[in-house]
Amino acid sequence: MWLPEGGHKGRPYRREDAMVLVDDLLLFPMRSVLWIFREIYNAGQEELANESESVTTELSSLYMQLETGKISEEEFAAEERTLLDRLERAQARGKGLPKEHGGEEKRGQREHRRVA
């Protein structure tokens, strides 16, 4: 392989420099795919963490509608049950989330999580 004289930053090129470059080029597609999957995973985790907050806001609005007489007791009870079920499901799914996403860590999860 021909390399120009002078090298990088004034030092001569070494065979190791060329190998690192080849390794980077060969691994780039795999690293890109892994980055995409990591971003999709993070977006999903964030959505799960925000779902509980959304349901709580909807419950608050529902209570306000009942207080102002915009909905009846029966409508309130039906809608409240639906929202509470959603909240319970979101909290159950959130138990496996890392703490920075609003969940509770499972035992041993910290050791397995990759540090960025």
pLDDT in tens, 68-112: 999 999 999 999 999 999 988 888 876 765 555 455 544 444 444
Q: Please, what sign has the CA dihedral across residues 6, 8, 11, 16?
A: negative
pLDDT digits (tens, 9 = 90+) for 22-69: 788 888 888 999 999 999 999 988 888 788 889 989 999 999 999 999
pTM: 0.48
Residue ranges per domain, the chain? 14-97
- Cβ neighbours of residue 48 closer than 8 Å, sequence gap 6 or more: 90, 93, 94, 97, 101, 103
DSSP for 34-64 reads HHHHHHHHHHHHHHHHHHHHHHHHHHHHHHH
